[in-house]
Amino acid sequence: MFKKHILAAFFVLLSVLGIYFLLQVRSFHPEHKTAEIADDVEKYIEKSEKAFKNLKKDSEKKIIWTSADKKKTKYVLVYLPSFAAGRKEIYPVIETLANDLRANVFFTRWAGHGGLAEDYKNLSAQDLFDTAQEALTVGKKLGDEVIIVGTGLGASMASTMAILDSKLTATLKGTEPESHLKAVVLISPIYSMLPDKLKYLASPLGPLLAPFYANEFIERRPKNPDIFKYWDTKYHRDGLIQLAKTVEAINRMDLHDLKLPTLVLYTKLDKEGLPSLIEAKFNQIGGYETTDDLKNGNSNMNSSQILTKKKLISILTPDPILAGEFTSPQTTQTVISEIKDWLDSVGISMEKITK
């Protein structure tokens, strides 16, 4: 009898250890694929979006040209929104910046977004990475110097694309690409799932755990009715699993490899977020923090250091979507001004275009 109890206890322990191991395993490893896009980029986008019959108005991918001749511009802005959000998320921040820089713009749409709640059942984490890679490739066809702006998932994905793109460029063995990534602006980037237990959805046990964490369809009821127009306020919980896998894969990236000029905007007032994690991640970024001395040309820093500078700014608003007429209109102008000032400090401005 005693031996049976010992054996049973052993199998229980083995099962617990097995479950623990499975919870730690991360089965998703994104493939960094170069998107194949035709020279007529606008036709390519329109054709690809027509394949989705149920898209809500203003949710589709969109190019905004700065001139009627639809020519490539010196600067181009690429916007990656939060998960389940669309291109109107921080309106009119991107539009204002584009106007000031005379820059073309590409607004992407995450795979699964803008259609039916059931569409998220077919979403994969690789789809999200492919969307971001496609956005960067489109941006390079629209302008010589690409500035990626992202919010939430879009922000953390932007940092990942910057790292992967720099590694890809390095393989060109000294060949300077015609168009290249110039800078990244990260608005409330996410590097961890909240609440913390959701991180286990990235494990092989994710599909089994998901019903305990969420109803079949995740639904939010925003106070602002305009949110219903531009956000997916209802989606299948399988989307949450793929989001967890994506965030976990992004979190594995080494931000020391992010050498581009990087601006991080966040709020310390976000009670649901992790401002301390954003601060810790910012410290890992491989650039140099912007200071007044550096702005004024401190001789202690060489030109290569100046080109890799970074800055962290806290915005006084409780909403992690720091700007936009639908969420944070009171801080929209502040965010626009901070981004413009920072871009100017790293040599991106109208003055550089007109010279």
What's the confidence (pLDDT) of residue 175?
55
Distance, CA of 247 to CA of 240 (rounded, Å): 10
Q: Catalogue all structural domains in the chain, each as residue range(s) with its CATH number.
A: 61-346 (3.40.50.1820)
CA angle, residues 38, 66, 133, in degrees to nearest 5:
40
- Residue 218's alpha-carbon distances to 34, 117, 213, 272, in angstroms, are 32, 9, 10, 17
What's the confidence (pLDDT) of residue 197?
83
What's the confidence (pLDDT) of residue 117?
94
Q: Say what the pTM is.
A: 0.87
What's the confidence (pLDDT) of residue 269?
92
Q: What is the pLDDT along the chain (355 residues), one digit of tens a residue?
A: 555 545 444 444 444 334 434 444 456 788 887 778 888 899 999 999 998 888 998 999 999 999 999 999 999 999 999 999 999 999 999 999 999 999 999 999 999 999 999 999 999 999 999 999 999 999 999 999 999 999 999 999 999 999 998 877 766 555 556 679 999 999 999 999 888 888 888 888 888 988 998 999 999 888 888 898 999 999 999 999 999 999 999 999 999 999 999 999 999 998 777 899 999 999 999 866 654 434 444 434 444 444 458 999 999 999 999 999 999 999 999 999 999 999 999 999 865 555 4
Peptide bond into 318 cis (omega under 30): no
* Residue 128 contacts residue 32 (beta carbons within 8 Å): no
* Residue 353 contacts residue 103 (beta carbons within 8 Å): no
Instruction: State both tokens at 125.
Output: 């984490």
Q: Write down the residue that tokens 């004024």 correspond to.
A: 296
